[in-house]
A and B are shown apart, each in its own frame.
Chain A
């Protein structure tokens, strides 16, 4: 991935960064998509009710939403290697949180001895 900071200044773009910015149209589309997914999440949950699959569906939709926000609004699509690495490391850290949580929750009722 190219380094987005190695840009050439021009007269109307003295810092050489404007060409890297996303257009308003694209950002609006993403915004509408995130809102639509939120509505879909609510609608599907009401339709399904509290089944054992409801949480899975909700989390799947929320993950797509988070991905859109990270990729477009947080500009990961323009990020250099360090930025991508930082984003991935945060996922790894979240993995630590969940795995060690589960070490407690999944074994809490095991009988000792």
Chain B
């Protein structure tokens, strides 16, 4: 990586003065509802996504609470068996299609990709707004499905049950997933074009923040995989509504074909969810350990590696579905391959932390939680990718625990870390350090108590998606439900102190974490067009050892003592 910063006796450019708070920023540039609903400002659209997905996350969490409460009793505590089916399906559909997939690209990709590369906006601002509207139309279809009784197929929508037998609102639910897929494609396209075409002078590919690399790899998957599931869902609707035999064997179809097509998207979709989280963690670990990332190129290219290899292993979801034995062996082998780029990232993150000057603010605590939980999630994936053990563990709670370790322990923690890391930039306010650290600890502890018992229950053979289970497994389920209550409390706390900070929090400086990226070189909250003048990038994204930002200017002091502006300045700003 080329570094044009003067070193060896020469002095880097002095630290920039704290930028004057601008009278008009993206938040106060219009207060009417229309100024938000018709905005083409990438930052406002990011906030639209933030509000929307927070609602869906809360709803999805509510359905999870129903499921966990029902599992307190071996015979089902509160729900009928049919209602239980609908509850876990609603949880899956809401969390996957309307939270996990759009979370980081929709909120932080939209908000920060242009700022990180020194651009005014995304390449297609109107397409960006359209993507949010399309996402909301998809969400409304899903809400329609829930309001008319819900779906009972599970989020995987396997035919022939979904296309022939189910009496539930399958079509509106499928339509919701189908439509929201277009939003995903639009966001991916926008991010890819922006990264190619709108980088500031000096922002070479080797100087891109790793978050941008991760979002770029994610966009590649969104563009290439989403159309496949869109077509599959159309075929499913055609079979259900018109009786065209595609997947239903009783009318000449092949149900395994659906599983192939569905997982060709849905396994890479796991990487759509986790890759952005990996990008977030790369940003935070370097910042809060005050060290350059270890092995920048390896971490960057491993994102691309995960995106490519992630397409080659979908059929490990189908080992017991009747696929060829030889194909199963091939997919088992290919599944092991994805451990390589994932392990590269993990080793490099660990090496980054080694002998770093670590501070444990909430984003860092959540990121360290990500490292631990994602590692457990990844390693338990090996049991499921191995043919022999998968036959025992397939469709048990072991799979549920593995998936949640990766998606909740990994992705949701990374998302929460991103919210805490960039909140001061987005809102111009600092949140409570104490409550945020406490919340991070509660989330991690609650998570362990929720999902570790599920590994054990799964190993003992408790099937997923069943409302009933043997009485001897009740203590594990009670522990899991108790843990989920703690986890819910941990999630509830940011929902209180973050919005509260917007009104009562101390004003944030432009660079409260003393981070190196371009997004920290603008006032908090940023200008409407991000930068007064186009920034010129002179060095890599994580020059913490040199103590300079990407424009070669000395960093402000790290956030050990104070990250609020001096009282005198606060008074001068009328705050």
Whether A100 pairs with B315 at a CB distance below 8 angstroms is yes
The smallest C-beta distance from B456 to any residue of chain A, in angstroms, reads: 33
Q: Is the CB of B324 within 8 A of A107?
A: yes
- With a 10 A CB-CB cut-off, give which of A89, A93, A97, A104 has the most chain B CB atoms: A104
CB atoms of B312 and A96 under 8 A apart: yes
Contact indicator A108/B323 (Cβ below 8 Å):
yes
Q: How far is the CA of A113 from the CA of B314 in the complex (A)?
A: 25
A21 at the interface (CB under 8 A from B): no
Contact pattern, B 370-388, Cβ under 8 Å of A = 1, otherwise 0: 0000000000000000000
Instruction: State whether A5 touches B197 (Cβ < 8 A).
Output: yes
Contacts A5-B197, A82-B196, A96-B312 given; does A108 touch B324 at CB 8 Å:
yes
A59 to chain B, nearest CB (A): 15
The proximity string for B residues 209-228 relative to A, scoring 1 for CB distances below 8 Å and 0 otherwise, is 00000000000000111001
Residues of B within 8 A of A (CB): 192, 196-197, 223-225, 228, 256, 260, 264, 311-312, 314-315, 322-327, 330-331
Instruction: Determine if A101 and B260 form an interchain contact, defined as CB atoms under 8 angstroms apart.
Output: yes
CB distance from B293 to the nearest CB of A (A): 27
Judging by beta carbons under 8 Å apart, are A100 and B326 in contact? no
- CB-CB < 8 A to A107: which residues of B? 324-327
Residues of chain A whose beta carbon lies under 8 Å from any beta carbon of chain B: 5, 82, 86, 89-90, 93, 96-97, 100-101, 103-110, 112
Q: Give Cα A100–Cα B315 distance, bound, in whole angstroms.
A: 9
Max count, chain A CB within 10 A of own CB: residue among B223, B314, B315, B325: B325
> Which residue from A86, A89, A93, A110 sits with its C-beta under 8 Å from B326?
A110
With contacts A82-B196, A97-B264, A101-B260 taken as known, whether A90 is within 8 angstroms of B224 at the C-beta atoms is: yes
Q: How far is the CB of B164 from chain A (nearest CB, A)?
A: 23
A104 and B311 form a contact (CB under 8 A) = no
Please, which residues of chain B bring their CB within 8 A of the CB of A82? 196
Beyond the given A90-B223, A103-B330, A104-B315, please list 7 additional residue pairs across the A-B interface where CB-CB is below 8 A: A89-B224, A100-B315, A104-B260, A104-B327, A108-B323, A109-B324, A112-B325
Distance, CA A107 to CA B196, complexed state (A): 42
Chain B residue numbers with a CB within 8 Å of A104 are: 256, 260, 315, 323-324, 327
Q: Taking the nearest CB of chain A, how far is it from the CB of B181, in angstroms?
A: 16
In the complex, which residues of chain B have a beta carbon less than 8 angstroms from the beta carbon of A103?
324, 326-327, 330
Q: Which residues of A contact B228 (CB under 8 A)?
A: 97
B325 neighbours in A (Cβ, 8 Å): 107, 110, 112
Q: Are B312 and A100 in contact (CB-based, < 8 A)?
A: yes
- Residues in A whose Cβ lies below 8 Å from that of B322: 108
Complex alpha-carbon distance, A101 and B318, angstroms: 12
Q: How far is the CB of A111 from chain B (nearest CB, A)?
A: 9
Which chain B residue lies CB-closest to A113?
Answer: B325
**Distance between B316 CB and nearest chain A CB, rounded to angstroms:** 12
Q: How far is the CB of A75 from chain B (nearest CB, A)?
A: 13
CB<8 Å pairs between A and B, sample of 13: A89-B224, A90-B224, A93-B311, A96-B311, A100-B312, A100-B327, A103-B326, A103-B327, A104-B256, A105-B324, A107-B327, A108-B323, A108-B324
Q: In angstroms, how far is the closest chain A Cβ from the Cβ of B220?
A: 8
Query: 9 closest Cβ contacts across the A-B interface?
Result: A104-B327, A108-B324, A107-B324, A107-B326, A103-B327, A93-B224, A104-B323, A104-B324, A112-B325
Contacts of A86 in B (CB 8 A): 192, 223
Quick one: which of B192, B224, B331 has the most chain A CB within 10 A? B224
A108 to B326, CA, bound (A): 8
**B196 contacts across to A, CB distance below 8 A:** 82
Give the CA-CA distance A107 to B256 in the complex, in Å: 14
CB distance from B123 to the nearest CB of A (A): 11
> Which residues does chain A contribute within 8 Å of B192, judged by CB atoms?
86
Q: Least Cβ distance of A104 to chain B in Å?
A: 4
User: Whole-angstrom distance from the CB of A55 to the nearest CB of chain B?
Assistant: 15
Query: How far does the Cβ of B42 sit from chain A's closest Cβ, in whole Å?
Result: 20
How distant is B457 from chain A, measured CB to nearest CB, in Å? 31
Q: In the complex the two chains form, what is the Cα distance from A86 to B314 in whole Å?
A: 22
Cα–Cα, bound, A107→B264 (Å): 19
- Closest Cβ of chain A to B57, distance in Å, is 31
Which residues on A sit within 8 Å (CB–CB) of B197? Answer: 5
| CA–CA, A87 and B20, complex, Å | 46
Instruction: Using CB atoms, name the residue of chain B closest to A102.
Output: B327
Chain B residue nearest to A112 (CB atoms) is B325
Residues of A within 8 A of B315 (CB): 100, 104
Q: Given the complex, which residues of B lie within 8 Å of A106, measured CB to CB?
A: 324
Complex Cα gap A85–B329 (Å): 32
Complex Cα distance A100/B326, Å?
Answer: 11
When distances are taken between beta carbons in the complex, the residues of chain B under 8 Å from A112 are 325
A108 cross-chain contacts in B, Cβ below 8 A: 322-324, 327
In the assembled complex, the Cα of A109 lies from the Cα of B327 at a distance in Å of 11
Q: Could you tell me the distance in whole angstroms from the C-beta of A34 to the nearest C-beta in chain B?
A: 19
Q: How far is the CA of A104 from the CA of B312 in the complex (A)?
A: 13
Task: Contacts A89-B224, A93-B224 given; indicate if A110 touches B311 (C-beta within 8 A).
Answer: no
Name the B residues within 8 Å of A93 (CB-CB).
224-225, 311
CB contacts (< 8 Å) of A109 on chain B: these are: 324
Q: Which residues of A contact B225 (CB under 8 A)?
A: 93
CA distance A30 to B322 in the complex (A): 44
CA distance A105 to B197 in the complex (A): 42
The smallest beta-carbon distance between A112 and chain B, in angstroms, is 5
Chain B residues in 8 Å Cβ range of A89: 224
Assembled-state Cα–Cα distance A70/B140 (Å): 32
Which residues on the B side are within 8 Å of A105 (C-beta)?
324
Q: How far is the CA of A16 from the CA of B224 in the complex (A)?
A: 30
Cβ distance A16 to chain B, nearest Cβ, rounded Å: 15
- Bound-complex Cα distance A48 to B455 (A): 57
CA of A82 to CA of B331, assembled, Å: 31
**Shortest CB–CB separation between residue B189 and chain A, in angstroms?**
10
- Complex CA–CA separation, A40 to B432 (angstroms): 68
